[in-house]
Structure 1
Amino acid sequence: MRSRPRSIFMTMMWGVALAGGSAFAESPQPSDAASSRVALAASASTSRWTEEFATGEGTGELVRTREGLLFEPYAVMRRPEGLSRLTGLYTFPARRLEQPVDTIRPLLQASASPEMGVEVDVRVRTPDGAWSEWRTASAGEVAHLPRAGTEVQVRLALLADEHGRGPVVREVRLEGSLEGGASGEEFQSLAALSYRVFATREGLVGGTTANGHVIKSNDRFVALPSRRALASNGGSEYQVKVCYPKTGKCTTTSVWDVGPWNTKDDYWNPSSVREMWKTLPQGKPEAQAAYQDGFNGGLDQFGRRPANPAGIDIADGAFWTDLGMSNNDWVDVTYLWTSGGSTPTGLVIDSNNANNDSTRGYIQLAGTSWASSTNVAGYYGSNYLASPTAAVSEPATFWFYLPTAATRTIDAWWTAASDRSTTAPFIIWDANGTQLATVKVNQQANGGRWNTLGTWSFPAGWNKVQLSRWTTAGAYVIADAIQVR
């Protein structure tokens, strides 16, 4: 049978209101006296804040009304296995607190029938600038973050009933505290976790992914069966490197959807922190265990019998073009964010514009000498660009758009080899045409990773990073990807 959607979070006894003839559970406004008692009982180290709906971003079926945030998923095209429980996500901006926290308690005011639900996902920024995985606060409970930190981000997950009707959230208040309650998940090592899992092609062109991305032809992203590693729309906070042994091809891409089969199966994590099915060995998806071994009665999270053992879905461009796959098959997947440093945390502009959102960033080439290549391993995405050095600029220009003025750190990714330039010049320009800096890097070293060029203040508009050919002759410069964070 299908799993029953969780009820929304309760901060105190719930009342019952009627809306359109249906019964809805509703959390009442606390009295002034009750609020005072809560304040007196709380520790002096507790951080409290209220998220503003006007500042957040959500999938298209989430509507801000005078009543609050309404989930209306009626016409949204989703993956078939997700139709039984449509979920809309609404993400608030990251927030820096005055003191570190490791425990988050959500206090919501919302209306929902018993078949609907509201969940709160929270993540924390790690010291190296990357985000932890998301952690979900269960009904009436708290979210224990993987580690303590001062910068956190909150995401709402609104779950509809089987008729496509969703809840209404009117207020999102949170309390953060340092309780020594971090979930002890600092298992990251120098080597990212890697497992062989069965991959299926996502398809669904024209549909909408869990993070709100509209799927296009020859798209490039993957789906994993847990929101814990779901990146923002167009973001690259959580990425995987997928290799297909039969062709020897690999690609690196972001996690933009949830599935296949399950939605709470972070199988790459140790059993001690796995959200569900803690008795399964690390690295084995529940759908695979159900399909091959009859685990859970041979059923998935929603009571269905999996038609395959899939642990990852791959979008068409990555599936067909980048990996050379023609049928669903076994692949080797490296979960890059588990390595503690190789996962980007901001906007990535790739050397292949097919991987870019042109409204946010793109690459532009001058001259005719830039050539696409996959000869040296460790490239970002599906390839990199190489050009011989010469006494001419003819740059590869990475453009990126900022809606408002901001201070941003720029990282660059390249492949390293002995024929690379040791003085490859990256030139940083702002949207006003002011040259901010020239940073020369040694591309014979530190390949296959993000390398920080520096931090600058940029105005709103189209800013750019150029990699010039004009440096010592007899070598190559490599334009692979930049990250703006």
Structure 2
Amino acid sequence: MRSKWWSTFMTMMLGVALAEGAAFAEPPQEPAAASARIALPTGTSAVRWTEELTTGEGSGELVRTREGLLFEPYAVMRRPEGQFQLTGLYTFPARRLEQPVDTIRPVLQAQSALGMGVEVDVRVRTANGAWTEWSTTRSGEAVRLPRGGTEVQVRLALQADEHGRGPVVREVKLEGTLEGGTASLSDVQTLATPLTYRIYATREGLVGGTTANGHVIKSYDRFVALPSRRALASNGGSEYQVRICYPVTGKCATTSVWDIGPWNTKDDYWNVSSTREMWKDLPQGKPEAQAAYQDGYNGGYDQFGRRPANPAGIDIADGTFWTDLGMSDNDWVNVTYLWTSGGGTSTGLIIDSNNSSNDTTKGYIEVSANWISASSTAGYYGSGYYYASTQAISDPATFWFYLPAAATKTIDAWWTAGTNRSATAPFIVWNASGTKLATVNVNQQLNGGQWNTLGTWSFTAGWNKVQLSRWTTEDSVVIADAIQVR
């Protein structure tokens, strides 16, 4: 089981102008460094922008410190037991640039002291709509992205000292350039199928705690943790997903990466050595904690000087662990890292056929008693799917999703394929005003176990819906598994 994450306080004021040399409420032992000001180059090929500090998202939380109970609106601090440096993440909205870039250089105005720091994570959306993994750099240092693109996203990782005092970030400027050649870099893998490794899994637990991306853990939750923030999805997002299969029960489940751990935080062990952030001499697919536990690698210690109590390379939330996979104790599983094929998924809201996996304030499924829950055919999303026979009857499976404002969204659907499936399964798309936008007939005998795009439409504010109808050619079944709104 992953060590428990504890919340603590980091002094941080984002978007607030501070006087030069301003002190923290409790001054650090070392004098605060002056805010760095680095001049940006003025080359005509560069794209430059400034992130608005008020537009990002962190995790609001009440935090008890030595001074009392404080409200921290822009970041959550957490640490595993034995880790002294605390980190909070703050993510800016994705931004579309006027020209493609493959190299990003951030310039920050920040105030920090000994033991504090700020790292900058950047990712780019590829031509197929998927995000690359996050690439990390620091102020004034350029980072080369694995792909070029026009849509980028920036995330700050603010690191506090061992006393819980953190840096103050005042300004975030970035410069993007297109250096060329990234599409053919040898350390970028473009695979026909995503990577799969046999990994020791532990149960996450920690109900009521907060994950690294700000998700509050609930009973029988469904997500996983991997020991690197390079593949940390957004809160509620699905841009980095794994498919886990447990050979003992024969059950499989697909879910998103919403936390960091176990043991390490910079061990992207699924990557090749030239890309891997640390421990480049280890075989691809072997977590550092496993090497330390089994082989005495790194003196038998993890990243933080602890001796791992097990060889775990993935933590699994309770609902996925107990219910979806049927696991009763920590054990070896087969993990497929779905984004490593170069396909991945886009950031979006997923409505599963299991409402316990949904945030029902944002989306849920509604079916009658005529729809049967099943998991007998492999390739389902989450823990299973619904099916119903086709006939001339008004009895759809309805996927509801809420939009706070009118927006144009792309809808994807996931199903399990089989010869008894309908070749004309009708998905009917409605906006919140009750206007039918389209009917899309799909062949569910093909393309199972993946996202299939239904189309892109303009939706109104409120509760929109996608219905899978049973009213089509008889003597087959239709499969209601999951949809994605992006």
TM > 0.5: yes
Partner Cα distance (1:473, 1:445) in 2: 18
Query: Is the deviation greater in 76-85 or in 333-342?
Result: 76-85
Is residue 2:159 matched to residue 1:159? yes
Using the size of structure 2 for normalisation, the TM-score is 0.90
Aligned to 1:46: 46
Residues 17 and 243 of structure 1, relative CA distance in 2, 3 Å threshold: same
Aligned to 2:134: 134
Is residue 2:84 matched to residue 1:84? yes
- Letter paired with 1:329: D
After TM superposition, give the deviation of residue 83 of structure 1 in Å: 4.8
Structure 1 residues 453-473: Cα deviation after superposition (integer angstroms, max 9, x where no partner): 111111222111000111111
Contact kept, 8 Å, 2:125 with 2:131, in 1: the verdict is yes
Aligned to 2:305: 303
RMSD between superposed Cα atoms in Å: 2.3
Task: After TM superposition, list the pairs within 5 Å mapping 1:32-431 onto structure 2.
Answer: 38=40, 41-61=41-61, 78=78, 80-81=80-81, 83-138=83-138, 140-180=140-180, 182=182, 185-365=187-367, 367-431=368-432
Partner Cα distance (1:139, 1:319) in 2: 40
Residues 344 and 104 of structure 1, relative CA distance in 2, 3 Å threshold: closer
Partner Cα distance (2:197, 2:75) in 1: 36
Structure 1 residues 78-126: Cα deviation after superposition (integer angstroms, max 9, x where no partner): 4634752221111111111111111111111111122111111000001
Aligned to 1:26: 34
Aligned to 1:433: 434
Superposition misfits of 4+ residues, deviation over 6 angstroms: 73-77
Aligned to 1:6: none
Partner Cα distance (1:308, 1:226) in 2: 18
Partner Cα distance (1:166, 1:342) in 2: 34
**Any idea what SS the aligned residue of 2:33 has?**
strand
Residues 224 and 232 of structure 1, relative CA distance in 2, 3 Å threshold: same
Query: Is the deviation greater in 402-411 or in 473-482?
Result: 402-411
Residues 384 and 79 of structure 1, relative CA distance in 2, 3 Å threshold: farther
After TM superposition, give the deviation of residue 26 of structure 1 in Å: 2.8
Partner Cα distance (2:338, 2:192) in 1: 10
After TM superposition, give the deviation of residue 341 of structure 1 in Å: 2.2
Partner Cα distance (1:456, 1:273) in 2: 38
Partner Cα distance (2:93, 2:204) in 1: 29
- Letter paired with 1:118: V
Residues 185 and 454 of structure 1, relative CA distance in 2, 3 Å threshold: farther
**Any idea what SS the aligned residue of 1:338 has?**
helix
Structure 1 residues 157-215: Cα deviation after superposition (integer angstroms, max 9, x where no partner): 11122122222111111111112374654312111000001111111111000000011
After TM superposition, give the deviation of residue 327 of structure 1 in Å: 1.0
**Any idea what SS the aligned residue of 2:32 has?**
strand
Contact kept, 8 Å, 1:48 with 1:176, in 2: the verdict is yes
Using the size of structure 1 for normalisation, the TM-score is 0.90
Aligned to 1:10: none
Query: Is the deviation greater in 73-82 or in 110-119?
Result: 73-82
Aligned to 2:478: 477
Contact kept, 8 Å, 1:73 with 1:160, in 2: the verdict is no
After TM superposition, give the deviation of residue 16 of structure 1 in Å: 6.5
Residues 181 and 81 of structure 1, relative CA distance in 2, 3 Å threshold: farther
Structure 1, gaps ≥5 residues long: 1-14, 64-69
- Letter paired with 1:335: Y
After TM superposition, give the deviation of residue 319 of structure 1 in Å: 0.7
**Any idea what SS the aligned residue of 1:205 has?**
coil
- Letter paired with 2:236: G
Partner Cα distance (2:133, 2:325) in 1: 27
Percent identity at matched positions?
74
Structure 1 residues 108-156: Cα deviation after superposition (integer angstroms, max 9, x where no partner): 1111122111111000001110101000014542221111111100011
Partner Cα distance (2:285, 2:73) in 1: 33
**Any idea what SS the aligned residue of 1:84 has?**
coil
After TM superposition, give the deviation of residue 76 of structure 1 in Å: 6.2
After TM superposition, give the deviation of residue 376 of structure 1 in Å: 0.8
**Any idea what SS the aligned residue of 1:57 has?**
coil
**Any idea what SS the aligned residue of 2:322 has?**
helix
Aligned to 1:12: none
Residues 71 and 299 of structure 1, relative CA distance in 2, 3 Å threshold: farther
